[in-house]
């Protein structure tokens, strides 16, 4: 499976809306294939515990504040394993096309942990900053730049 994903990533065309490519297409195809075989076991994740990229910016623009507020009011009493009582387990960095744009958004929120060497991850200080920005619901590095926009 790893080699298939590498091949897809190498051929990804983030500007193509007519013939989408990328890992999402691969996973959708695998989902359909395994479902037909009857070998797929799946469950639906709660959107406020595992939110998509709308958490950041409401999906291609906007602040995402409304989406985050909705999730804050969701019952998290038996969440467990969440980020500082937010109910969040993981935030998906999706809902926009192109890896460069996703990287810029993650960096704006201090949610990018790969160091410039491309081989090591950031310190616990950076992780603490990422948790703080998530709990506050505010990006510490300003608003979205034009490079992030749709």
**pLDDT (tens digit, 9 = 90+) per residue, 4-16?**
555 655 665 555 5
Whether residue 82 sits in one domain with residue 17: no
Domain membership of residue 141 (yes or no) is yes
The per-residue pLDDT for 39 is 92
Q: Is residue 127 within a helix (H) or strand (E), and if so which, with residue range?
A: helix 124-136
Domain extent, residue 60, equals: 54-148
The answer to whether 88 touches 134, Cβ cutoff 8 Å, is yes
Domain tally, the chain: 2
User: Taking the model in full, what pTM does it have?
Assistant: 0.64
Q: Which two tokens stand for residue 27?
A: 């996973």
Instruction: Identify the pLDDT of residue 78.
Output: 47
According to DSSP, the residues that pair with 134 across neighbouring strands are: none
Q: What residues form DSSP beta bridges with 121?
A: 114
Same domain assignment for residues 142 and 86: yes
Residue 14, in any domain of the structure: yes
Contact 8, 25 (CB under 8 A): yes
Question: Do residue 24 and residue 73 come from a single domain?
Answer: no
In a domain, 70, yes or no: yes
Examine residue 121 and state whether it is found in any structural domain, yes or no.
Answer: yes
Regions in the chain scoring below 70 on pLDDT = 1-22, 58-61, 73-85, 149-150
Instruction: Say yes or no: 94 and 58 in one domain.
Output: yes
């Amino acid at each position: 499976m790893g080699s298939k994903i590498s091949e897809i990533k190498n051929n990804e065309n983030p500007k193509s809306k007519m013939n989408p490519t990328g890992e999402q297409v691969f996973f959708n195809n695998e989902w359909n294939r395994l479902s037909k075989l009857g070998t797929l076991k799946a469950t639906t994740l709660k959107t406020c515990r595992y939110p998509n990229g709308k958490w950041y910016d409401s999906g291609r623009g906007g602040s995402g504040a409304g989406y985050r507020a909705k999730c804050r009011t969701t019952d998290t009493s038996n969440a467990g394993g969440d980020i500082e009582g937010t109910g969040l387990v993981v935030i998906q960095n999706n809902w926009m096309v192109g890896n460069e744009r996703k990287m810029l958004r993650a960096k704006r929120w201090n949610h990018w942990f790969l160091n410039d060497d491309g081989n090591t991850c950031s310190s616990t200080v950076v992780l603490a900053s990422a948790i703080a920005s998530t709990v506050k619901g505010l990006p510490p590095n300003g608003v979205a730049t034009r490079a992030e926009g749709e």
